[in-house]
Amino acid sequence: MNVTAGLPPYRLQYGWVTAQGRASPGDPSGFVFERGTVVGGGQFLLGRAYGPYSRVIFHKTLLSAGVAPQGWDPWNFRGHEDNIMYAEVDCEGGGSDTSQRVRWEKQLNKTQLVYFSRSYFLDREGWLANTPVGKELKP
């Protein structure tokens, strides 16, 4: 992904990579980025909440130095931070230092991360595995 934060004609302090919205804890949606690259100009946040249960995970992603230290923004859902699930797992690059991230960023262990794997999170019912593309993706 290439983020164009702060570049003309945009004059925002930050850009955002994601704006994911979940309205309830039972909503199965979310964004999971695995083994990708996030680059860009200007400073950007990995996500802003577009719902009180927003969920975004970056896993084994190369994050450029453009990632703002805080990493995430509750946006219009301040006060719901405990419901928001933002996580970075095994990321690398100049923007992967999580020491200054928001205090409410979640820490996922390997067991929890399984719930966001392609086979569980995306293809729980097997529909993807049975498509021509899914058959090509099988190990």
Confidence of residue 62 (pLDDT cuts 50, 70, 90): very high
Cα-flanking dihedrals φ and ψ of residue 112, to 5°? -65, -35
Residue type, 84: I
70-91 pLDDT, tens per residue?
999 999 999 999 999 999 999 9
- DSSP, collapsed to helix, strand or coil, labels residue 114 as helix
Q: Which residues contact 67 (CB under 8 A, 6 or more apart)?
A: 38, 43, 44, 45, 46, 94, 95, 96
108-136 pLDDT, tens per residue?
998 888 887 766 666 666 666 677 765 55
